[in-house]
Amino acid sequence: MWKRVASLSPLISSKRSSTLNQAAYTFKRFESFTTETPAQGKVGMFFKGKTPFITFVLGGPGSGKGTQCEKIVENFGFTHLSAGDLLRREITSNTEDGAKILDTIKEGKIVHSEVTVKLIRKEIDSSDNYKFLIDGFPRSEENRIEFERITEAEPDIVLFFDCPEEEMVKRVLNRNQGRVDDNIDTIRKRLKTFESLNLPVVNYYSKRGKLYTINAVGTADEIFEQVRPVFAAHEELST
């Protein structure tokens, strides 16, 4: 199910030199933004002295992206934002927006992209950091379009954790988190949904030259050795 994506973006483990070159190019573009003087009268996350360096982290359920986000945070000082966690936190905050989100979910509907994007932007605006991992977002082309419309920007890097379906099914069944949807039938349905909604986003960013495809099979440390060069290149160029 993943071959069409892999053909668009070679695995980092076999293309380390091209990864470093691509990362260097991205950093130079990023550096040119962060050294500019903020425009007078502008507010929001793109006018705080440093333009945020944004990484989208994509992958199906059980692809291991959450574990890798923890390692990126630990090693490179990024702030980890989970779209799902932000929605759940808003629900428990007893705000008017949280109540609307809960009602939407109870009705079996999908939370509108604009709501999620505004929560993400709020977190970025209020942070002292400028390096962000946005985990599990965008989930669809609608999400992507709304993010770019509201923020007037694109991500600097997009990581896609490419994992075979059977491996993801096995991992989700074994993680024992007590989720009611962690049974084999519902897992496969979630994977089908991911494939139909998320892979167009992956392909879009591949064509934009922003995608880094990670072979998500192996131990967490082995997988991170593919991830590390992407961010290490930026660290080296910033010193």
**The domain spanning residue 156 has which CATH number?**
3.40.50.300
Flag whether 175 is marked binding. Answer: yes
Flag whether 111 is marked binding. Answer: yes
Mapping DSSP to helix (H, G, I), strand (E, B) and coil, where does residue 211 land?
strand
Query: Does residue 102 form part of some domain?
Result: yes
Please tell me the predicted confidence (pLDDT) of residue 179. 54
- Domain count for the chain, please give it: 1
**pLDDT per position as a tens digit, 203-217:** 999 999 999 999 999
Query: Does residue 39 form part of some domain?
Result: yes
Q: Is the pLDDT of residue 234 over 80?
A: no
Query: Does residue 128 form part of some domain?
Result: yes
Q: Name the residue among 161, 162, 160 with its Cα closest to residue 211.
A: 160
Flag whether 71 is marked binding. Answer: no
Flag whether 77 is marked binding. Answer: no
Q: How confident is the model at residue 43 (pLDDT cuts 50, 70, 90)?
A: very low
Flag whether 75 is marked binding. Answer: no
What is residue 164's DSSP assignment?
-
Average pLDDT, the chain: 79
Q: Is the pLDDT of residue 10 over 50?
A: no
Average pLDDT (85-92) is 92
Query: Does residue 62 form part of some domain?
Result: yes
Token representation of residue 6? 């892999």
Query: Does residue 23 form part of some domain?
Result: yes
State if pTM tops 0.85: no
Query: Does residue 43 form part of some domain?
Result: yes
**pLDDT per position as a tens digit, 93-151:** 988 889 989 888 888 677 889 999 999 999 999 999 999 999 989 999 999 999 999 99
Dihedral pair phi/psi, residue 230, rounded to 5°: -60, -50
Flag whether 35 is marked binding. Answer: no
CA distance 140 to 150: 16
Flag whether 16 is marked binding. Answer: no
Q: Name the residue among 104, 57, 27 with its Cα closest to residue 227.
A: 57
Range of the domain at 209: 3-234
Flag whether 183 is marked binding. Answer: no
Query: Does residue 142 form part of some domain?
Result: yes
Flag whether 88 is marked binding. Answer: yes
User: Which one has a higher pLDDT value, 102 or 15?
Assistant: 102
CA distance 114 to 213: 27
Average pLDDT (163-177) is 84
Query: Does residue 239 form part of some domain?
Result: no
Q: How confident is the model at residue 90 (pLDDT cuts 50, 70, 90)?
A: very high
With a CB cutoff of 8 Å and minimum separation 6, the contacts of 102 are 91
